[in-house]
Structure 1
Amino acid sequence: MLETTMPALASLEAFGNVTDLLVRRAADAPDHVAFDVPADDPASWRPVTTAAFLGDVRALAKGMMGAGLVAGDRVAIMAPTRYEWAVADLATWFAGGVVVPVYDSSSASQVDAIVHDAGVRLAIAGSRAHADLLTRALVGTDAIGTWAMRGVDGIRSLDDLTGRGTHVTDAELETRRTLAGHHDPATIVYTSGTTGEPKGAVLTHSNFLGQVLNIAAAYREVVTPTGNTIIFLPLAHVLARGLQLICIASGMRIAHLSEPSRVVPALSVLRPTFLVVVPRVLQKIQAAAADKAARMRLGPVWERAVSTAVARGRLAEKQDAGRRSRAPRGLRVRGAVFDALFYSRLRAIMGGRVDYILSGGATLDGALSLFFRGIGVPVIEGYGLTETTAPLTGNLPGRIVSGTVGLPLPGSTVRISPEGEVLARGVGVFAGYRDPRHDAEAFVDGFFRTGDLGRIDDGGRLILEGRMKDVIVTSNGKTVVPARWEGAVEASPLVQHAVMVGEGKPYLSALLILDPAESAAWAASHGSTFATGSPGEVRAIDEPRLRAHLQPTVDAANALVARSEQVRRFTLVLADLDDHELVTPTLKIKRREVLHRAADTIDTLYRGAAS
Structure 2
Amino acid sequence: MRDLALAPPSAPHLTGGLADSLFGTAAESPALPVLARRAGPASATWEQVTAAEFRDEVVDLAKGLIASGVSTGLRVAVMARTRYEWTVLCHALWAVGAEVVPIYPTSSRDQVEWILRDSGCVAVLVEDEEGVMTVGSVCTALPLLRHVWQLDAGALDRLVERGAYIPTATVDSMRRLVLPDSTAVIAYTSGTSGHAMGCALSHRGLAFICDTLIAGWGHTVAEPGEQGAVLAFLPFSHVYGLMIQGLCVRGGLLMGHEPDIGGEALSSALRTFRPTYLYAVPSLLEKIYKNFLRTAQQSGRGALFERAAGTARDFAAAQERQRLGLGPGPGFDLRLQHALYERTVYRKLRAALGGRVRRATSGGSPLSRDLCLFYEGIGIYVHDGYGLTETSGGVTMQPFGREKSGTVGRALPGTEIKVADDGEILVRGPSVFQGYVGDAAATRAALDGGWLATGDLGRLDSEGYLTITGRKKDVVITSSGKSVAPAALEQRLRMHPLVHQAVVVGDNRPCVGALITLDPDFLADWRAALSLSGDAVTRAAREENALREEIGRAVAAANSSVSPSESIRVFRVLPEPFDVANGLLTPSMKLRRDEIVRRYALEIDAMYQSRTRPRRTAEPDPSSGWDDADNVFR
TM-score range, shorter chain: over 0.9
How many angstroms does 1:323 deviate by? Answer: 5.9
| Residue of 359, 366, 372 corresponding to 1:363 | 366
| TM-aligned CA deviation for residue 239 of structure 1 | 1.0
Conserved 8 A contact 2:294-2:522: no
Shift of 1:521: 4.5
Alignment partners' CA distance in 2, 1:592 and 1:518:
28
- Give the C-alpha shift of residue 258 in structure 1: 1.6
Query: Is contact 1:510–1:571 with CA below 8 Å preserved after alignment?
Result: yes
- Pair 179,378 (structure 1): closer, same or farther in 2 beyond 3 Å: same
Q: Deviation per CA, 1:82-127: give whole Å up to 9, x if none.
A: 1000011111111211000000111111111100111110111111
Distance 1:577 1:11 in 2: 40
DSSP 3-state at the match of 1:173: helix
Paired position in structure 2 for 1:345: 348
Residues 131 and 146, structure 1, Cα contact 8 Å, conserved in 2 = yes
For the 8 Å contact 2:234–2:280, the answer to whether it is kept is yes
Q: Determine if contact 1:582/1:593 at 8 Å carries over to the other structure.
A: yes
Residue 569 of structure 1 aligns to a residue in which SS?
strand
1:533 aligns to what?
none
SS at match of 2:43: coil
Task: Give the match's secondary structure for 1:441.
Answer: helix
Q: 1:266 to 1:70 in 2, by over 3 A?
A: closer
How do 1:137-216 and structure 2 match up within 5 A? 137-139=138-140, 140-150=142-152, 152=153, 157-216=155-214
Secondary structure of the equivalent of 1:203?
strand
Q: Which moved more, 1:279-288 or 1:19-28?
A: 279-288
Asked if the contact 1:32/1:49 (under 8 Å) is kept, the reply is yes
Tell me which of 350, 354, 377 is aligned to 2:380. 377
Aligned counterpart in structure 2 of residue 507 of structure 1, from 508, 511, 529: 511
Q: Aligned ranges for residues 19-34 of structure 1 at < 5 Å?
A: 19-34=19-34
Corresponding residue for 2:390?
A: 387
TM-aligned CA deviation for residue 478 of structure 1: 1.6
Amino acid at match of 2:596: V
> Which secondary structure state, in structure 1, belongs to the residue aligned with residue 268 of structure 2?
helix
User: Is the CA contact 1:499–1:511 (under 8 Å) kept in the aligned structure 2?
Assistant: yes
Residue of structure 1 in register with 2:39 after alignment: 39
Tell me, in whole angstroms, the C-alpha distance in 1 between the residues paired with 2:265 and 2:94. Answer: 31
Please identify, of 295-304 and 580-589, the stretch whose mean Cα deviation from structure 2 is larger: 295-304
> The residue matched to 1:143 in structure 2 has which SS?
coil
Q: What is the match of residue 134 of structure 1?
A: 135
Q: Distance in 2 between matches of 1:239 and 1:42?
A: 27
Report the CA distance between 1:304 and its aligned residue. Answer: 2.1
In 1, Cα distance between equivalents of 2:528 and 2:390: 43
Letter in 2 for 1:550: I
* Deviation for aligned residue 1:373: 0.8
Per the alignment, in what secondary structure is the counterpart of residue 386 of structure 2? Answer: strand
| Counterpart residue type for residue 51 of structure 2 | T
Look up the match of 1:538: none
Measured in 2, the distance between the counterparts of 1:429 and 1:99 equals 18
Does residue 423 (structure 1) correspond to residue 421 (structure 2)? The answer is no
Show the counterpart of 1:446.
450
Tell which deviates more after alignment, 376-385 or 315-324.
Answer: 315-324
Contact 1:63/1:166 (8 A) holds in 2: yes
Native 8 Å contact 1:497 1:589 kept in 2: no
Q: Secondary structure of the equivalent of 2:179? A: coil
Q: 1:289 to 1:35 in 2, by over 3 A?
A: same
Greater alpha carbon shift after TM alignment, 132-141 vs 484-493: 132-141
Q: What does 1:302-321 align with in structure 2 at a 5 Å threshold? A: 302-321=305-324
SS at match of 2:433: coil
The residue that corresponds to 2:239 in the other structure is 238
Assess if the C-alpha contact under 8 Å between 2:11 and 2:215 holds in 1: no
* 2:596 aligned residue (590, 594, 597): 594
Is the Cα–Cα contact under 8 Å of residues 120 and 144 in structure 2 kept in the other structure? no
Distance 2:563 2:301 in 1: 35
Q: Report the Cα distance in structure 2 between the residues aligned to 1:543 and 1:592, rounded to whole angstroms.
A: 29
Shift of 1:427: 1.6
Q: 1:344 is matched by which residue type in structure 2?
A: R
Question: TM-score, normalization: structure 1?
Answer: 0.93
1:527 CA drift (Å): 7.8
Between 1:2-11 and 1:363-372, the stretch displaced more is: 2-11
Distance 1:49 1:455, change over 3 A: same
Alignment of 1:453-468 (within 5 A): 453-468=457-472
CA distance in 2, matches of 1:147, 1:302: 49
**Native 8 Å contact 1:358 1:380 kept in 2:** yes
Query: Residues of 2 paired with 1:588 and 1:437: CA distance?
Result: 25
For residues 168 and 553 of structure 1, what CA distance do their matches in structure 2 show? 63
1:59 counterpart residue number? 60
Given that 2:240 and 2:364 are in contact with CA atoms closer than 8 Å, whether structure 1 keeps it comes out as no
Contact 1:212 1:246 in 2 (8 A): yes
**By how many angstroms is 1:300 displaced?**
3.3
Count of residues in correspondence between the two structures:
594
Letter in 1 for 2:487: A
The residue number in structure 2 matching 1:534 is none
Match of 1:88 in 2: 89
How far residue 36 of structure 1 moved from its aligned partner, in angstroms, is 1.0
Query: Given that residues 68 and 144 in structure 1 are in contact (C-alpha distance below 8 angstroms), is that contact kept between their aligned partners in structure 2?
Result: no
1:536 equivalent in structure 2: none
Partner of 1:539: none
The DSSP-based 3-state class of the residue aligned with 1:90 is: helix
Q: 1:134 offset after TM fit, Å?
A: 2.6
Cα RMSD (Å) of the superposition?
A: 2.0
Measure, in 2, the Cα distance between the counterparts of 1:304 and 1:211: 39
Question: In the alignment, which of 402, 405, 430 is matched to residue 402 of structure 1?
Answer: 405
Tell me the secondary structure at the aligned position of residue 384 of structure 2: strand
SS at match of 1:75: strand
Paired with 2:428 and 2:422, the residues of 1 have a C-alpha distance of: 18
**Distance in 2 separating the partners of 1:9 and 1:28:** 25
Give the gaps of 5 or more residues in structure 1.
Answer: 529-541
Shift of the 318–559 alpha-carbon distance from structure 1 to 2, 3 Å rule, reads closer
Distance between the aligned counterparts of 1:157 and 1:463, measured in 2?
A: 46
**Secondary structure of residue in 2 paired with 1:258:** coil
Q: 1:203 to 1:14 in 2, by over 3 A?
A: closer
Question: Shift of the alpha carbon at 1:346?
Answer: 0.3
For 1:491, which of 487, 491, 495 is the aligned residue?
495
Q: CA deviation at 1:142?
A: 3.5
Judge conservation of contact 1:101–1:189 (CA < 8 Å) in 2: yes
Q: AA paired with 1:404?
A: T
| Percentage of pairs with the same residue | 36
d(CA) in 2 for partners of 1:410 and 1:243? 19
* DSSP 3-state at the match of 1:124: strand
Q: Kindly tell me: are residues 144 and 20 of structure 1, through their superposed partners in 2, closer, same or farther at Cα, counting changes over 3 Å? A: same
Shift, 1:143, TM fit: 2.6
CA spacing shift, 1:73–1:580, aligned 2, 3 Å: farther
Matches within 5 A, 1:242-321: 242-259=243-260, 260=262, 261-321=264-324
Structure 2: how far apart are the matches of 1:306 and 1:147?
A: 49
Residue 515 of structure 2 aligns with an amino acid whose one-letter code is: L
Q: Aligned AA for 1:451?
A: G
Residues 552-561 or 288-297, more deviating: 288-297
Give the 3-state SS of the residue equivalent to 1:106 in structure 2. Answer: coil
SS in 1 for 2:218: coil
- What is the SS of the residue equivalent to 2:571? strand
Task: Report the Cα offset of residue 3 of structure 1.
Answer: 2.0
The alpha-carbon distance between structure 1 residues 376 and 395, as it changes in their structure 2 partners (threshold 3 A), is: same
Deviation per CA, 1:523-565, whole angstroms, max 9, x where unpaired? Answer: 565589xxxxxxxxxxxxx943322111111011112111110
The reply on whether 1:2 has 2:2 as its aligned counterpart is yes
Q: How far apart in 1 are the matches of 2:186 and 2:67?
A: 23
Structure 2 residue runs of 5 or longer lacking an equivalent are: 533-542, 615-621, 623-634
Any idea what SS the aligned residue of 1:221 has?
helix
Cα offset for 1:160? Answer: 0.6
